[in-house]
């Protein structure tokens, strides 16, 4: 690997990988710096949601992207590494990289990618793609997560699917499952007055997958406002409307029922103007995205700003992916909730913005060369 790379991408999730691949394709040398031992970020952990056909969850796009990035001759990768400081200006940044202090296991297939000692590299631009943290449902104690084994999160169910353990969730005595939307999102009091974007689609895909495994299941989805943009997804929603119950209004409290193995979902029913209760065998909390608690340290190291909701702040420039520091771009869920597709689109947008000066510079160099 060369000591000088023209673009540094911090974070190897879908956003960082997409930015790296596209930048490399238009001629840049790219160095990806990833804190963990593996590329792929959170998307690497999502199970395939296919039933008899593909459910378009985009999870396999992450695997494909990791393979292409590792094979690309213009992309270098350093894992178990973090950026300690960023000095200088666009076209002349100096980036200090250090080995990550909390070392998890390195990827066995690519042990040579591990950073072993501190180094400084030059960069023309920096792309930050450090992602998000899934909401910890224990922070909503009234919903019973961690207290009642019948209450799980979408992350838990996804993990069971990934490990082929879904039958331990769908035990024969489980016949009635409820999904609860917006857990950790759309919460003004907690400073998270935003929609996490992906979780309505994730719950619907999971529901479809569970119904595929067990067509006799009764599934209810408690929601505030369904976010299902896109023509295809509206068809999907129409299909699911005939197969499960949708109830507007999310629960205030989940508790144990008198019947063993059942939980009671208590909520305010606006149509009746009073509290209503329903019993379910299992409840799946549809958790959202929250800003990484490390964004403050990241912002300090890179000279960036943090927005009031804790995500990294973009500049005021309309439609731009540039941060509040010129030459440093933000893509994916580090700058606000984003699903896999949106994260990739933002990476493409940043590539286009960075590509413009690159094209200009190349043209300029070519013109100088001709003199
Ligand atoms: C339960 C759940 C289910 C979901 N299911 C879906 C789904 O079905 N479909 C969908 O489209 N989306 C889904 N999402 C959302 C999806 O995970 C995100 O859209 C996506 O992961 C965002 O990609 P990213 O690259 O921005 O961030 P991440 O995936 O978080 O990747 C960030 C990367 O940066 C690295 N990193 C962090 N800090 C540093 C640092 N300081 N230095 C170097 N590296 C660093 C991390 O280790 C990680 O590899 C789901 C989310 C949750 C919580
Ligand atoms: S998009 Fe999702 S459901 Fe479709 S094949 Fe890929 S991982 Fe499976
Ligand atoms: S995507 Fe759906 S569940 Fe997620 S925060 Fe938005 S409205 Fe709530």
pLDDT band at 1 (very low <50, low <70, confident <90, very high): very low
Report the C-alpha gap between 323 and 325 in whole angstroms.
5
Test site for ligand 1: of 19, 33, 38, 42, most ligand atoms within 8 A of the Cβ: 42
pLDDT digits (tens, 9 = 90+) for 166-204: 888 888 999 999 999 999 999 888 889 899 989 999 999
Quote the pTM value.
Answer: 0.91
Same domain for 312 and 187, yes or no, is no
Instruction: Determine if ligand 3 sits within 6 Å of the CB of residue 233.
Output: no
Residue of 169, 159, 198 lying closest to 182 (CA atoms):
198
> How far does residue 258's CA lie from ligand 1's centre (Å)?
39
- What CATH number has the domain bearing residue 267? 3.50.50.60
pLDDT digits (tens, 9 = 90+) for 239-248: 888 899 999 9
- Lowest average pLDDT, out of 17-31, 79-93, 99-113, 238-252, goes to 99-113
Q: CA dist 18 to 12, 168, 190, 256, 258, Å? A: 9, 36, 32, 45, 51
pLDDT band at 161 (very low <50, low <70, confident <90, very high): very high
Same domain for 197 and 141, yes or no, is yes
Same domain for 199 and 339, yes or no, is no
Same domain for 209 and 242, yes or no, is yes
Same domain for 40 and 184, yes or no, is no
Quick one: which ligand is closest to 342's CA? 1
Same domain for 199 and 283, yes or no, is yes
Pick the last residue of a domain from 254, 288, 322.
288
Instruction: Determine if ligand 1 sits within 6 Å of the CB of residue 337.
Output: no
> How far does residue 58's CA lie from ligand 2's centre (Å)?
6
Cβ density class 55-91: b for 16+ within 10 Å, e for less:
bebbbebbeebbeebbeeebbbbbbbbbbeebeeebe
Between 77 and 112, name the one with better pLDDT: 77
- Split into its structural domains, the chain has a count of 2
Instruction: Determine if ligand 3 sits within 6 Å of the CB of residue 286.
Output: yes
- Minimum CA distance residue for ligand 2 atom 6: 60
The range of the structural domain enclosing residue 234 comes to 135-288
pLDDT of residue 2 exceeding 60, the answer is no
> How far does residue 43's CA lie from ligand 1's centre (Å)?
6
Report the C-alpha gap between 27 and 357 in whole angstroms.
12
């Amino acid at each position: 690997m060369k000591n000088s790379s023209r673009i540094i991408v911090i974070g190897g999730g879908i956003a960082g990988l997409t930015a790296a691949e596209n930048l490399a394709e238009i001629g840049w040398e790219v160095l990806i710096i990833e804190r963990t031992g593996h590329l792929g970020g959170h998307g690497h952990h999502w199970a395939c949601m296919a039933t008899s056909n593909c459910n378009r969850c985009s999870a396999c796009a992450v695997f494909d992207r990791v393979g292409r990035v590792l094979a690309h001759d213009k992309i270098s990768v350093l894992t178990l590494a973090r950026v300690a400081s960023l000095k200088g200006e666009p076209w002349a940044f100096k980036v200090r990289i250090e080995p990550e202090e909390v070392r998890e296991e390195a990827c066995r297939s690519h042990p040579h990618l591990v950073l072993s000692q501190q180094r400084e590299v030059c960069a023309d631009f920096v792309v930050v793609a450090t992602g998000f943290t899934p909401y910890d449902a224990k922070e909503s104690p009234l919903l019973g997560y961690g207290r009642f084994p019948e209450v799980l999160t979408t992350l838990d169910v996804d993990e069971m699917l990934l490990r082929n353990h879904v039958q331990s969730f769908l035990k024969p005595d489980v016949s009635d499952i409820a999904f609860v939307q917006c857990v950790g999102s759309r919460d003004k009091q907690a400073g998270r007055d935003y929609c996490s974007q992906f979780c309505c689609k994730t719950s619907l895909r999971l529901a479809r997958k569970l119904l595929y495994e067990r067509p006799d299941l009764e599934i209810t989805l408690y929601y505030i406002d369904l976010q299902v943009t896109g023509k295809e997804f509206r068809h999907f929603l129409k299909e699911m409307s005939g197969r499960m119950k949708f109830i507007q209004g999310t629960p205030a409290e989940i508790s144990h029922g008198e019947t063993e193995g059942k939980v009671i979902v208590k909520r305010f029913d606006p149509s009746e103007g009073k509290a209503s209760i329903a019993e379910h065998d299992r409840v799946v909390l549809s958790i959202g995205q929250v800003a990484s608690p490390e964004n403050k340290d990241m912002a300090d190291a890179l000279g960036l700003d943090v927005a009031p909701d804790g995500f990294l702040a973009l500049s005021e420039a309309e439609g731009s992916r540039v941060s509040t520091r010129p030459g440093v771009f933000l893509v994916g869920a580090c700058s606000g909730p984003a699903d896999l597709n949106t994260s990739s689109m933002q990476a493409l947008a940043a590539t286009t913005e960075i590509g413009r000066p690159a094209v200009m510079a190349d043209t300029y160099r070519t013109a100088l060369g001709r003199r």
